[in-house]
Amino acid sequence: MYNTNMKRFLVISPHPDDLDFACGGTMAKLIQEGNKVEQLIVSDGSKGSHAIGIDGKRLKTIRQKEQRAAAKVLGVKNVYFLGEIDGEVENTKKLRKKLVEMIRTIKPDVVMSFDPGALHRFDFPPRSHRDHRQVAEAVFDAVYPAVGNRSFFPELLKKKLFPHTVEEVWFFAPEKPNKLVDIKKFMDKKIKALLSHKSQIKDPNALISRIQKMPRETFRVVKLT
Ligand SMILES: [Zn+2]
């Protein structure tokens, strides 16, 4: 795993649950190894249901609760929500500023996020969701170069949010992985975390058998320093 203990990881996810699918086992493993893992969920998940009778506002509250429950299973203490509207996320200067603000506040050594390069194949529609594409690029734009450069969003300096160096990005769901994490020992935690997202699960048994067939999580690690 990572060379030194006590690295700070920030996992940024377009919706509640994406991060638990992509790297739930790795988050549990990193925490057990002594690292700190925090989560930032960009959209409110308010369109993530086909059920009639659940309005977006209620779903937003439900999904925040589900995400906090999933985080607790993995040992993640801090979950932040940006509250962007589900399905309407755009990689704007405003979003990049919010991301830079969060990253300069949390000061992670490593940011984990969707691999922007892998989202443009459109062969597996749920992966290429527009919010995923927009968030993946916005996160990259925020970590390089904005977060470490004082000329980006100079108004943040007045809030004592100074440039911060993110050492690495671990892109999850990558096209060309260069890091494989064995999560067999953390499979139970990953499954339990995923099952916390009750509003999203039609068939829990199908989900469990699908996840059990994936004993490794993959990443493309990119060094920024
Ligand atoms: Zn998603």
Domains detected in the chain: 8-223 (3.40.50.10320)
Ligand 1 geometric centre to CA of 158 (Å): 34
Residue pair 24/185 in contact (Cβ under 8 Å)? The answer is: no
Beta strands 110-114 and 168-172, pairing class: parallel
Ligand 1 geometric centre to CA of 4 (Å): 31
Residue pair 46/223 in contact (Cβ under 8 Å)? The answer is: no
Q: pTM for the full model? A: 0.96
In whole angstroms, give the CA distance from residue 157 to residue 65: 33
Q: Which residues contact 225 (CB under 8 A, 6 or more apart)?
A: 165, 167, 168
Residue of 198, 137, 170 whose CA lies nearest to 22: 170
What element of type H or E holds 29? helix 18-32
Ligand 1 geometric centre to CA of 128 (Å): 9
Ligand 1 geometric centre to CA of 33 (Å): 27
Residue 3: its pLDDT value, please? 52
Q: Which residues contact 163 (CB under 8 A, 6 or more apart)?
A: 104, 147, 148, 149, 150
Ligand 1 geometric centre to CA of 184 (Å): 24
Ligand 1 geometric centre to CA of 3 (Å): 30
Ligand 1 geometric centre to CA of 55 (Å): 18
Q: Which regions in the chain score pLDDT beneath 70?
A: 1-5, 51-53
Ligand 1 geometric centre to CA of 54 (Å): 19
Residue of 135, 142, 138, 134 whose CA lies nearest to 164: 142
Ligand 1 geometric centre to CA of 157 (Å): 32
Ligand 1 geometric centre to CA of 197 (Å): 12
In whole angstroms, give the CA distance from residue 219 to residue 170: 6
In whole angstroms, give the CA distance from residue 164 to residue 30: 22
Ligand 1 geometric centre to CA of 58 (Å): 18
